[in-house]
Amino acid sequence: MKIAHDDLNRLKSDADTEYLRYSKMDLRIDMARGIPSPQQIDLSMALLDVPLGNDYLSEDGTDSRNYGGQQGLLEARRLFSTLVGVPEDQIVVGGNSSLALMYECLAQAWRYGTPDSPRAWSQEPGGISFICVVPGYDRHFAMCEDFGIRMISVPMLDDGPDMELVKRLVVSDSSIKGIWCVPKYSNPTSTTYSKAVVETLASMPAAARDFRIFWDNAYVVHPLVEVDDSLENIYTQAVRHGHSNRPLIFASTSKMTLPGAGIAELAGSKDNTAWWLKAAALRSVGPDKVNQLRQVRFLRSPEKIKELMEQHRQLLLPKFERVHEVFNRRLGTFGVAQWTRPRGGYFVSLEVLPGTAKRVVELAAQAGVKFATPGSCFPYGIDERDYQLRIAPSYPDILQLTTALEVISVCVAKAAFDHLSAVASVE
Ligand SMILES: Cc1ncc(COP(=O)(O)O)c(C=O)c1O
């Protein structure tokens, strides 16, 4: 971008003055993680009052209070079946965290291999790799790092991952055993994969016959727009193309009900669920079925879930609108930043002047606003262009959020003008 010398000096001096003003306000705002606000959590407090009393048997007669029921209660599996589009007998419902299920799948494949693996993933000569769509979810990348799985970055496009690149990599490199996907309102770009992308993922040839799609459908019922995006069913497509074992589909009620006390599921082919259940029996004598019953009796049906998610939407939408309003007012005319306008999910992806993202975060932290970890949306925490930051507006109240956004905007502008004038002075 090109700004005239005098204009740049003036913009830089204005940004310095503004920054100094906010620095003196002794702010302490932490909005680094995308977690539901107390008001959102309050929507599900009735969950704790669901009377189980003498009514603790599941539909199929399982005593929810006792050991056993490794696959999860029938009614919990049925409820998830309506959300993820996989038959209820091919769903496992576990504890509160879908991330834990993902980790355990990875660990299981690492130790034993999948039903299609020639050997345990840990025993593959030369190691294994995963495709990571960037910018993406830091906790997925952290899991790969934990296991020593190589990460190969593929850019996110408007309709999902760059599939030309994914196809080329997956067909030619047998060390690639998986891909992380957040297919709906993805974290952090809020992208919903198109039908064509889902079909290609399900049908493309893979050099590794045990290639797996880790389909993290964390935002399956989380629109911010009135009409929810529709997502093609990866399982149906995989079956159609003869790759029924390829997708491992995860979801949870964490961001529908109480994040610390939701229920999570893994869905997939019969082979995959049987594989999972075999190892699960070693780990535990069964999941918390009392909570499964409570969750099902609270959420009741897809229609009720929709009503609840509409209440979440009403609480979240003004915050996401505020992000756009403040960024647009503060940064819209300078051309030093751009940001997404999410249709759903929990995040806004902010792109600042390349070379300044770290500095923006540093400046904001010095002014009392903690809002992002630079590089966190990239494997190994490395954003080579130092340009991308994740904004999570859900938790703070609207006043705090507005202040934080004003500070972030000033920091984006200050870092950009400092950078541009430093570059101009050496030219
Ligand atoms: C993409 C994605 N997957 C999973 C999770 C966590 O899900 P759970 O609470 O079910 O472990 C999050 C939470 O932010 C997320 O953004």
Residue with the larger pLDDT of the pair 427 and 59: 59
Per-residue pLDDT tens over the stretch 89-122: 999 999 999 999 999 999 999 999 999 999 999 9
Per-residue pLDDT tens over the stretch 354-383: 999 999 999 999 999 999 999 999 999 999
| Mean pLDDT value of segment 194-221 | 98
Structural domains of the chain in order of their starting residue, each with its CATH number = 5-30+306-426 (3.90.1150.10), 45-299 (3.40.640.10)
> Does any ligand 1 atom lie closer than 6 A to the CB of residue 345?
no
Binning pLDDT at 50, 70 and 90, where does residue 85 land?
very high
> Does any ligand 1 atom lie closer than 6 A to the CB of residue 257?
no
Q: Mutation test of ligand 1: which of 105, 143, 187, 258 has the most ligand atoms closer than 8 Å to its C-beta?
A: 187
Q: What is the three-class DSSP state of 146?
A: helix
> Does any ligand 1 atom lie closer than 6 A to the CB of residue 253?
no
Task: Supply angle C-alpha 128, 133, 139, rounded to 5.
Answer: 75
The Cα 67–Cα 69 span in angstroms is: 7
> Does any ligand 1 atom lie closer than 6 A to the CB of residue 254?
yes
334 has pLDDT over 90: no
Specify the ligand 1 atom closest to the Cα of 255.
Answer: 9
> Does any ligand 1 atom lie closer than 6 A to the CB of residue 190?
no
The mean pLDDT value of the chain amounts to 96
The reported pLDDT for the residue numbered 407 is 98
162: Cα within 13 Å, side-chain hemisphere: 14
The Cα 187–Cα 349 span in angstroms is: 9
The reported pLDDT for the residue numbered 1 is 58
The reported pLDDT for the residue numbered 310 is 98
The reported pLDDT for the residue numbered 2 is 65
Q: Is the peptide bond before 396 cis (omega within 30 degrees of 0)?
A: no
The Cα 137–Cα 143 span in angstroms is: 11
Per-residue pLDDT tens over the stretch 301-325: 999 999 999 999 999 999 999 999 9
SS (H, E, C) 53-69: CCCCECCCCCECCCCCC
Q: Report DSSP state, residue 151.
A: E
Alpha-carbon dihedral 59, 61, 62, 64, rounded to 10 degrees: 70
| Mean pLDDT value of segment 4-20 | 91
The reported pLDDT for the residue numbered 426 is 73
190 has pLDDT over 70: yes
| Mean pLDDT value of segment 179-206 | 98
Compute, in angstroms, the gap from residue 140 CA to the centroid of ligand 1.
10
- CA-closest candidate to residue 420, choices 366, 362, 372, 359: 359
